[in-house]
Every structure is written in C-alpha cells, then in structure tokens.
Amino acid sequence: MLSGMAVVFAALTTFAIGDSAPSASGDPSQFRVDAAVNGENVSPFDVGSRMLARVAAATTPAVVHIQSERRTRRGTIEETGSGVIMRSPKADGEFIVTNRHVILGAELADIQVHLHDGRVITPVGKEEDAATDIAVLRLKTPGLTFAEWADSDNVDIGHMVMAMGSPFGLSQSVTLGIISAKGRRALELGESREVINQDFLQTDAAINPGNSGGPLVDLHGRVVGINTAIASQGGGNEGIGFSIPSNLVRIIVEQLLEYGEVQRGYLGVRLDDSFDAAAAARLKLDRARGARVVQVYPNTPAEKAGIQVDDVILNFDGYDIEDEEHLIHRVSLTGINKSVRVIVHRNGRQVTLQVVLTQRPAANRRSDAPRPMPQPFPGGARIESSGLTLHRLDAPLAAQLGVSGQRDGLLVMQVPNRAGDDSLQLYDVILEAARKPVRTVGDWDAVLEQQESVQGPLLLKVRRVVNDQPVTRLVLWTPPAAE
C-alpha cells in the first residue's frame, strides 16, 4: 500500500438462482453487477479494469527511473534501470531499493533519479550487496511517496502481479501477469556474478531491459519482489522473468541500512552438487533430497557441531532442505552466532545436531559460497570510447543487420574512420576480444581492463555482412590509450 492507502477488492458480481447465464460468445455488456461505480452499473470486466488502474495509479508515484554512469580509463559506461521508494525504521527518511548492477561503479554525483512528478534528484548515500544484486540509495528529498512491502511467503503460484518500471527507458510502464513459479535457484542465464541467495519468483508479467530494480507488486499495490533477470534468447521479454522475493530483499535492505553490509552465516562444508537417486540409495535415503556433505573444513561451525562426510542435511533451522542450493540460501540468511538445529541423515537414521554459525569469510569459495548470478538486464547499457560506441545486440537489431541467427555480441554504432578490411567498421558485431567472448558491455570493459598493460592493437573477432552474406573476420582495433 502507498502511504497508508488501502485498495480493497470485493466480490461485486452476483447472479440469482434461475437466471440464465449469458452465452460465452455473447456481448460482455450482458454481464451486470448489483453494485454501482460512480453511480452507474458496470460490467465485471470494467470493475476489474478499474481496480487494476487504481493499483497502478497508487503505486506509480513510488517508482523511479534511474540513470547512472561509471567512468573507466577506456570511456564511460551508461546504465538505466528502475527502483522503488521505501521506508524503514532503520533509515532517516525515504530511500530507494534497486539492483546493484544499475548503479555499479557509479559515483553519487553520476546517479540521476527521475521521480514521478518530474523532479530529478541525486542520492546522498548508497549501500550495495553483490551477493543479491541489491542496492540502497539514501535520499534527503521531501514530499516523496513510498511503497510498502508485502509478505512474499504468502504469494502463491497463480496470484496476479504487476511489474513496474522503465523498460527501454519508457518510464511509468506497467505490465500484468501472474506468479509462474517460486523458489527458482541455480539459474544459469549467462553472465556470472557473485550471488549467494537464489530464491527467485518467476513471473510472466512482461519484463524488459530497463525494468531492473523496479518493483513487482500485488493487487494491493504492495511490493512482493524486485525485478532482476529474464530468461531470453534475444534479450527481450519472452514471458520468463525473475524477481527477488520481498522477504529476502527486506532482510538485505535492513542490514545494509543498519550495518552498511550484510552479515551472513557460515557453516564450513563442501556439498555434492550432483546428488542423485543412486547416491541417495547408497546412503539408505528414500530419494534424492537434502544436501550431501562431501567435505567438512577444520575449525568451522560444521566440524565443531559434529557434521560428518556423507551426512545428508535434511532440515536446517526448521526448513526442510530441498538441495544444496537451498541449504546455501538458508545458511547465508541466518544470523551469525545463532544456535541452529540441524537434522542430518546418517547411516540410515536421523541425527539432530546444534550448530552455532560464524561470519562468512570474505574470500570464501567453498560450497556454501556465492554461486553464479543470472544474467541481469542490460538496461540499455553502452560504452563510448574515443569515438567508438558499442551497443549490446538484440533480436530486432540482428534482423536489421542481416544476421538474424546471431544472439550474442556488441554492435559497433560509431567508429573512427580507418581504411582496410582488417580494421573495425560500422555495423560490425564484436563476438570476441583477445579471444574472449563479449556478450555484454561488462565483458568488453573487463577485457579492456585486463589488456591495459599490453601495447599495440586488440585482436577482435567480428561478424560482418559482405555482399549480403554474414562472414566472420579477425580485425585489429587500437585502444585509445595505446594510440
């Protein structure tokens, strides 16, 4: 709800016993309700439409459009995304919740927040959590409308939701869909990022580049999730979007506001990421469930609690564990120095242990360490460097270029004029740089950073249309610092 505003839905349609039901192919106006809206009878279709409009109107003022820039030695990278204004007892005034990748590497002065009323403001502080791709932007601006959190545990598959934000920079956009699935984990959608907590809500509400960081709201206008990723062949909406559930976001946000970082529990084990039915049968377990321990690290909470190799952790702190990713998620959300009951399957029987978790080591890379992050939205990102402008390739651009089958790469939008087929040209699609794939602007930036100490031109593999036929070429491009 927005600033205490309640949106109440009631069952308005009633039919008396014996009434003849309108035919499926009849005029929708045949449906009538026994209640009036603004003094006139309306169809239930109108009622539903008006209710959705009320939700959108109440929530939109709390949704913001964000533009950020980060400067590198090779140029400036721009990102666009969305966010939602929230409140918390742990913060002095309102703040914005968004995705970390929307403002990654940007100074506060280089972050512009576009409000619903047309104002453009700059945050006065920021906190980030790489492990969830969540960021908080602190504000000192009066007269802001804020949203409220919903309990994402009470959102079920089939519940209707609305995705709000600025897809392709089109601010104040709203799309409608349902919750398609819950508890999506271990997603492999492309670009790797450090993330521990994968417990995504899946929705078919249309989500596109630029929706990153925007809210997924229920039909009371409350935030049930923060839109973060899509599964797509061409970079656009294909009906599979992912949002971080609100209960997880709230935990992260509250810790960022209070401590400036997220304190995560640490167990100290390595888990079997290919635990299957055969392994379960060998351990006298009825089916593959829980998380099998394959190594216990010394001087860790797991060792002190008596956890052993081949133990299968079935329950952690009251949660039945589905798999190793689920255990990683639960451990990381548990407070440090907390005593937790753990139920393990050992030698055909269940054993109950008590574990006192410690702070996760910063450089830990064991089984309960961060896992790959799903591909975040490109958000309209591009890089401009000494006249060279690149843009991530998508399906519409590929079709216009005559390379419809191409899904990855960076389109050259502007390049300094150089002669010869061995140099970078306008409309080239860069596939590799220094023999490393470049699917995103982030990939390109990473290659350039690694090549800073290398003198001479950069070897690029490009896709180019020659005589109406796409061909692959190796070309040389000299970075600005080497010119």
Backbone angles phi, psi at 241, to 5 degrees: -120, 160
Q: Which residue has the higher pLDDT, 15 or 184?
A: 184
Q: How many CB atoms lie under 10 A from the CB of residue 384?
A: 15
Q: Which positions are catalytic?
A: 101, 133, 212
First to last CA, the chain: 56
Tell which wins on pLDDT, 62 or 2.
Answer: 62
Q: What pLDDT, on the 0 to 100 scale, is given for residue 103?
A: 92
pLDDT of 448 reads 76
Q: How confident is the model at residue 453 (pLDDT cuts 50, 70, 90)?
A: low
Of the segments 122-136, 232-246, 452-466, which one has the largest average pLDDT value?
122-136
pLDDT category at 398 given cuts 50, 70, 90 is confident
- pLDDT at position 19 is 37
Position with higher pLDDT, 445 vs 109: 109
* Tokens linked to 237: 């909406």
pLDDT at position 197, please? 58
Structural tokens at position 143: 């007269």
Q: What pLDDT sits at residue 232?
A: 53
Residues 358-381 have pLDDT tens digits of: 887 764 433 343 333 333 333 334
Q: Kindly report, residue by residue over 402-419, the tens digit of the pLDDT.
A: 776 676 788 887 766 554
194-252 pLDDT, tens digit per residue, is: 555 567 889 988 888 788 899 999 999 999 999 987 655 555 556 688 889 999 999 99
Distance CA 104, CA 135 (A): 9
- Per-residue pLDDT reduced to its tens digit, 145-156: 999 999 998 999
User: What pLDDT, on a 0 to 100 scale, did the predictor assign at position 99?
Assistant: 92
Q: Other C-beta atoms within 10 Å of 398: how many?
A: 22
Residue 336 CA, chain-centre distance (Å), reads: 26
Q: Show the domains of the chain with their CATH numbers.
A: 48-264+363-380 (2.40.10.120), 266-359 (2.30.42.10), 383-482 (2.30.42.60)
pLDDT mean across residues, the chain = 78
Retrieve residue 234's tokens: 């061409």
pLDDT in tens, 251-305: 999 999 988 988 888 899 998 888 888 889 999 999 999 999 999 999 999 999 9
Tell me what pLDDT residue 374 has. 38
- Regarding predicted confidence, which is higher, 478 or 427? 427
DSSP state of 21: P
Write out pLDDT tens, residues 415-444: 665 545 567 888 888 988 888 888 776 677
d(Cα 433, Cα 454) in Å, to the nearest integer? 13
pLDDT for position 42? 66
pLDDT category at 18 given cuts 50, 70, 90 is: very low
* C-alpha–C-alpha distance, residues 275 and 297, integer Å: 20
